[in-house]
Structure 1
Amino acid sequence: MNLYAILKGGTIMKQLLFASDLDGTLLNAAHETDEEILTGMQELARQNAAVAVSTGRSVSMCRSLGFPPGPKVLMNGALALDAQDQVVYDQPLPAAIVAELMDLFPDLPFEFCTTDCTLTRQSRQETIGNFQRRWAKRGKPRRNADFDKMFQGHRNDQTREQILDQTIYKINCNREDSEDCRRLETWLAAHPEVVNTPSDEVLYEISAASATKGLAVQALAGHLGIPHDQVAVFGDGINDLSMFELFAHSYAPSTGQPEVQAAASEVLDGSDEHCVIRKMKELREQWQ
């Protein structure tokens, strides 16, 4: 029997991998998990279909969503973990790049993402304020979230030395109409070894150019012994296109960016906030 199949009830049940972006894709309209999403993931796991989150979020931000144990592609593909949280694939930022950014832009509110936490030189209140400004610039009402839960993995008031002592996979930062941000744009253009792949225009998400969601999902599928034709990918943003380029089974909600919808093998009903988890269940039945 192939490694990617199991015997169930006398028939071979293929092992499947569903890799999905979170915000605007797998999560509900409140950018959170709920009973249908979480129970659906557990049901799929029992049917030998692993759901891997594939997100720009850090490890700690994903933990706060309450996902069941499973594989993960994090920080736009800079890190992939299996269900036991063992590293399958990683592409960290060079320490020299991290140091240069801190030294050149001491006033920018950088967030430095590691394997298990997010470090910042800002205070906790400044971190919350930065998030609130990003949220407001997206045209949404002020969000009164449980910030203790949301930022439980953040370590504030870190020194330069404390940050450089860690392996950094991604750097987040508010994108503002400021001289510092214009200088950062110039710096990014001059450094092809790094890439900015934000989930939207109000944010910088800086990682190594070699880090993509597509390559991380490919490494995860290889680690699990699952062939490409038994992998389906889901996303709505530009940082999801690398998955669509590598896997033929690709799905985008109709609320996704036009380029992503055009690249998808199928466009889902974006008005249904559970369209992704329901499509996964449908595929599990079809591919059984």
Structure 2
Amino acid sequence: MIKLILSDMDGTLLDENGQLPEEFDAVMEELHERGVQFAPASGRQYFSLLKSFKKYEDRFIFVSDNGTIVRQHGQELFSDVIEHKLAAEIFNSMNDHDGIYNVLCGKETVYLLRDKQPEAQMDELKKYFRLVEVVDSFEDIPEEPIKISFFTPDGDAAEKIYPLFAPYYDSMQVVLASAYWVDVTNKGATKGSAVKALQKRLGLKPEECAVFGDYMNDIEMMGAAYYSYAMENAFPPVKEAARFVAPSNAEHGVIKTIRGFMEQGLC
């Protein structure tokens, strides 16, 4: 029986307009009645997820920032912090590259440099982060870093940003999070590792978990649960890593598949 369901947000649970399916609340209520836990698992900041799911603040588990911090009932369950000196090195590594903008994610706030904040970046930031602070330098950031993200407004992150981090491929987790973003976290800090940590904490087996995703920052999740679903619109390597394929996000594939679970008596 499925007891825990985790879903990515953008390109997965949210439709092509960035909206939750109309059936979402009804399905969540039915899952709750069946004793099934739901967890949004996203590269988004916790407070961004909380804005989308305020009514579920005390019901959901929130896997945010690509699994580097997990919260329940507003309390941190676990996190994966980047060593400060290394974080500064990575954060500042792109300062001289035109068209690439760096963002440091702390546990509470997202920080960006004052001299590198084009309107395009601010618009994109608002999609994923709620608490944003502009600083003059890395040294002005008071929080522990959990993720460093790099953005290109041209949507060519795979070509423009990702190759630049080749020196860190072996020592850090460097992942193409979307066409616009590359995320850097500690090696092994992924949504998949967060799923495994939750399984251990909750006493669940992979056969009791389902996961949904569409992009490269979801790929480790596919190996952490038996019911691993790539969306029909997913990046090809994610489909290869998943055991099953769900209808596209435009077709509300996550909700349709969960409905299928209930109809089949899987949860």
What RMSD over aligned residues (CA atoms) do the two structures have, in Å?
2.9
Indicate if the aligned counterparts of 2:176 and 2:217 stay in contact, CA closer than 8 A: yes
Residue 106 of structure 1 corresponds to 95
Residue 120 of structure 2 corresponds to 129
Supply the AA of the counterpart residue of 2:69. L
Residue 85 of structure 1 corresponds to 74
Pick the aligned partner of 2:201 from 200, 203, 223. 223
TM-score, scaled relative to structure 1? 0.77
| Counterparts of 1:15 and 1:202, CA distance in 2 | 34
| Counterparts of 2:231 and 2:30, CA distance in 1 | 22
Indicate if the aligned counterparts of 2:12 and 2:212 stay in contact, CA closer than 8 A: yes
CA shift at 1:102, angstroms?
Answer: 4.1
The secondary structure found in structure 2 opposite 1:92 is coil
Distance 1:47 1:122, change over 3 A: farther
Residue 109 of structure 2 corresponds to 117
Choose 1 or 2 for highest CA Rg: 1
Indicate if the aligned counterparts of 1:119 and 1:158 stay in contact, CA closer than 8 A: no
| Pairing 1:22–2:9 present | yes
| Counterparts of 1:183 and 1:239, CA distance in 2 | 15
| Pairing 1:170–2:160 present | no
Distance 1:151 1:74, change over 3 A: closer
Q: How many residues align?
A: 256
Structure 1 segments (4+ residues) deviating >6 Å: 181-184
TM-score, scaled relative to structure 2? 0.83
Indicate if the aligned counterparts of 2:16 and 2:250 stay in contact, CA closer than 8 A: no
CA shift at 1:170, angstroms?
Answer: 0.8
Indicate if the aligned counterparts of 2:46 and 2:63 stay in contact, CA closer than 8 A: no
Residue 84 of structure 2 corresponds to 95
Distance 1:216 1:151, change over 3 A: closer
Indicate if the aligned counterparts of 1:78 and 1:90 stay in contact, CA closer than 8 A: yes
CA shift at 1:235, angstroms?
Answer: 0.8
| Counterparts of 2:94 and 2:249, CA distance in 1 | 41
Indicate if the aligned counterparts of 1:27 and 1:273 stay in contact, CA closer than 8 A: no
CA shift at 1:270, angstroms?
Answer: 1.5
Unaligned runs of 5+ in 2: none
Distance 1:197 1:183, change over 3 A: closer
Work out the percentage of aligned pairs sharing the same amino acid.
Answer: 25
Residue 140 of structure 1 corresponds to none
Indicate if the aligned counterparts of 2:12 and 2:249 stay in contact, CA closer than 8 A: no
